[in-house]
Amino acid sequence: MSDCERMMEVDALIDGEAGEDAAAIERHIRSCEACRAYAADVRRNDAVLRRAVLANEPGDDLEERLFGPQDAPRSSRRKVLAGMGMAACLGGLGLLMRPSSGTGEADFRDAVLGDFATYIAADKPLDIAAVDAVRVVPWISARVPFVLPDRVAPDGATLLGGRLCWLVGRRLAALNFEVEQAPIGLYIAGAEGLTGLPEEGTLPVEGARDGLQGAFWRERGLALGIVGTLPASRLSTLAQTLQG
């Protein structure tokens, strides 16, 4: 395996510690095969490591041993404390360990529109809230099993933050924006086995559900969708600002 002296900088980028060097490191990764391979390995291994270690919890009686009898069963307290984002994150393990629907066909449009409806109904919880893509993108990149596209912010959109989702039997990245004061979500996943998407290199297709609209397309093996309350034609225009 080839090596590069800048691999420590790749770590910093993945950990959100690169600061203003982030753009330069990203450029280096694109041009350095060793660092590209290293970054992909680290992201994949980190994601599995997190799932594996987060599943390791102390026995039910530890909290009681320390603090005395509790008011409610530990599991229900934890659900309240965890919040939706964390629950989705930890829930990944449970979903991962039961028979996956990822091997069959699943409609990307339907799943993404349904998730965005839940996101709005749940008062827009985010796993990472930040307006700076330099913070949000590395955080998400480190937690998904694919490489995010170079460009993830549609023209004129203000970034709010990001989320990790588990839909259609796989991990998705969701970046959340505001456009013309309306919330929109950009969903990204590996495209394998997904339906409801056009051929690569063609214009986005539109979809609608529960009062939400969306524009969906494929690019470099990824499935992408922009969804929100804006008209589908407007979302399609935003999607085209991201197409390579």
Partner 1 sequence: MQRSDHDKHALDRVFRENLTALYRLAYTLLRQREEAEDAVQDAWLRIAGTGLPPGSVRHPRGWMFRIVRNLCIDRLRARRTHLRVVSTETDIAMLPAPEDARAMADTAQEAVEALARTMKAMDDLPRDLAEILALVVVEEMSYRDAAEVLEIPVGTVRSRLNRARRSLRDILAADEARTVRERSLR
Residues at the interface with partner 1 (CB under 8 A): 1, 3, 7-8, 11-12, 15, 17, 38, 41-42, 44-46, 48-59, 62-63, 65-67, 81, 93, 96-100, 102-103, 145-146, 170-171, 190
State how far the Cα of 14 lies from the Cα of 135, in Å rounded to an integer: 10
- Per the structure block, which two tokens stand in for 154? 């549609």
Greatest alpha-carbon pair distance for the chain in Å reads 62
- Per the structure block, which two tokens stand in for 239? 């999607």
Complete DSSP assignment for 182-193? EEEEEEEEE-TT
Which residue number, 76 or 103, has a Cβ lying nearer to partner 1?
Answer: 103
Closest separation in Å from C-beta 44 to partner 1: 6
**Considering only CA atoms, which of 146, 167, 194 is closest in space to residue 92?**
167
Closest separation in Å from C-beta 229 to partner 1: 32
Closest separation in Å from C-beta 1 to partner 1: 6
Amino acid occupying residue 73: P
- Per the structure block, which two tokens stand in for 96? 């991962």
- Per the structure block, which two tokens stand in for 81? 């404390």
Which residue number, 70 or 233, has a Cβ lying nearer to partner 1?
Answer: 70
Amino acid occupying residue 186: L
Which residue number, 57 or 155, has a Cβ lying nearer to partner 1?
Answer: 57
Number of H helices, E strands in the chain: 8, 9
Which residue number, 42 or 222, has a Cβ lying nearer to partner 1?
Answer: 42
Which residue number, 90 or 117, has a Cβ lying nearer to partner 1?
Answer: 90
Closest separation in Å from C-beta 210 to partner 1: 29
Query: Do 238 and 154 contact (CB within 8 A), yes or no?
Result: yes
Closest separation in Å from C-beta 164 to partner 1: 13
End-to-end CA distance of the chain: 31
Element (H, E) at 78: helix 74-97
Which residue number, 56 or 181, has a Cβ lying nearer to partner 1?
Answer: 56
- Per the structure block, which two tokens stand in for 105? 């066909």
- Per the structure block, which two tokens stand in for 182? 């309306």
- Phi, psi torsion values for 15, nearest 5 degrees: -90, 5
- Per the structure block, which two tokens stand in for 24? 């330069």
Which residue number, 28 or 234, has a Cβ lying nearer to partner 1?
Answer: 28
Closest separation in Å from C-beta 194 to partner 1: 13
